[in-house]
A and B are shown apart, each in its own frame.
Chain A
Amino acid sequence: DARVTQTPRDKVTEMGQEVTMRCQPILGHNTVFWYRQTMMQGLELLAYFRNRAPLDDSGMPKDRFSAEMPDATLATLKIQPSEPRDSAVYFCASGLGTTLSNTGELFFGEGSRLTVL
């Protein structure tokens, strides 16, 4: 049963610490998204990759956040230094893009809940 895998599921850290979240997209998917979900802001798109290349990271605070895809099986989202306002659930999703044969469905991981004290 193919699914998106995210680690860690839960992370509690102190302000100023570095946090790295990892995502394994579904094998064969060529698009990867990072979303942040909070009660106040809902779902926010942080970054988008297609074929491992970053296409849109306009929603990501550049001074402390970075997203990469070292290879097709791993996407990372790093926060350095972390702040209490970064507390949220971070979701990774993968898909096959919008083409004549694909309609843009996304497959979500279960999320990484981050708490920054």
Chain B
Amino acid sequence: AQSVTQPDIHITVSEGASLELRCNYSYGATPYLFWYVQSPGQGLQLLLKYFSGDTLVQGIKGFEAEFKRSQSSFNLRKPSVHWSDAAEYFCAVVPMNSGGYQKVTFGTGTKLQVIP
């Protein structure tokens, strides 16, 4: 069965510092890969996605993620964190050959705290 692991439950970074959130997946083939962000009291919003092609993908709010097939990873990065980035971040996978069935598996999330 496919699974998504986000090993860091909680991360604290200083404003202006760089950020990397880890995501590893377990699946027989390369799935579609996503990062979502959830601000307090809100639903999840898509940050970026990997479908195919260039393994470094750019998203909204200055985020990027790099797909590494050899490591089954899709880590999220931002060079300089802003206080407004404090939120919970979810990695998600969707099987590429799902026949139209969009079974999404979410990781357990990483809560990001930004300190001045």
Contact = CB atoms under 8 A, between A and B. Distances in A.
Interface of A: 4, 31, 33, 42-43, 45, 48, 50, 55-56, 91, 93, 95, 97-99, 103-111
Contacts of B43: 4, 91, 93, 108-111
A33 B104 contact: yes
A63 to B, nearest CB: 24
Contacts of B104: 33, 45, 104, 106
Interface residues of B, number: 24
B6 to A, nearest CB: 10
Contacts of B51: 103
B104 to A, nearest CB: 6
Q: Which residue of B90, B95, B103 has the most chain A CB atoms within 10 A of its CB atom?
A: B103
A103 B48 CA distance: 11
A42 B102 contact: no
Contact of A43 (B34, B90, B94, B100): B90
A31 B104 CA distance: 12
Contacts of A93: 43-44
Given A43-B90, A103-B32, A104-B104, A98 B98 contact: yes
Given A42-B106, A42-B108, A43-B106, A99 B45 contact: no
Q: Mostly helix, strand, loop or mixed at chain B's interface?
A: loop
Contact of A106 (B42, B46, B95): B46
Interface string B15-42: 0000000000000000010101000011
Nearest to A31: B102
A104 B102 contact: yes
Interface in B78-101: 90, 94-96, 98, 100-101
29 contacts: A4-B43, A42-B106, A42-B108, A43-B109, A45-B103, A48-B101, A48-B102, A50-B102, A56-B101, A97-B100, A97-B101, A98-B100, A98-B101, A103-B32, A103-B49, A103-B51, A104-B32, A104-B34, A104-B102, A105-B49, A106-B36, A106-B102, A106-B104, A108-B36, A108-B44, A109-B43, A110-B42, A111-B41, A111-B43
Contacts of A45: 103-104
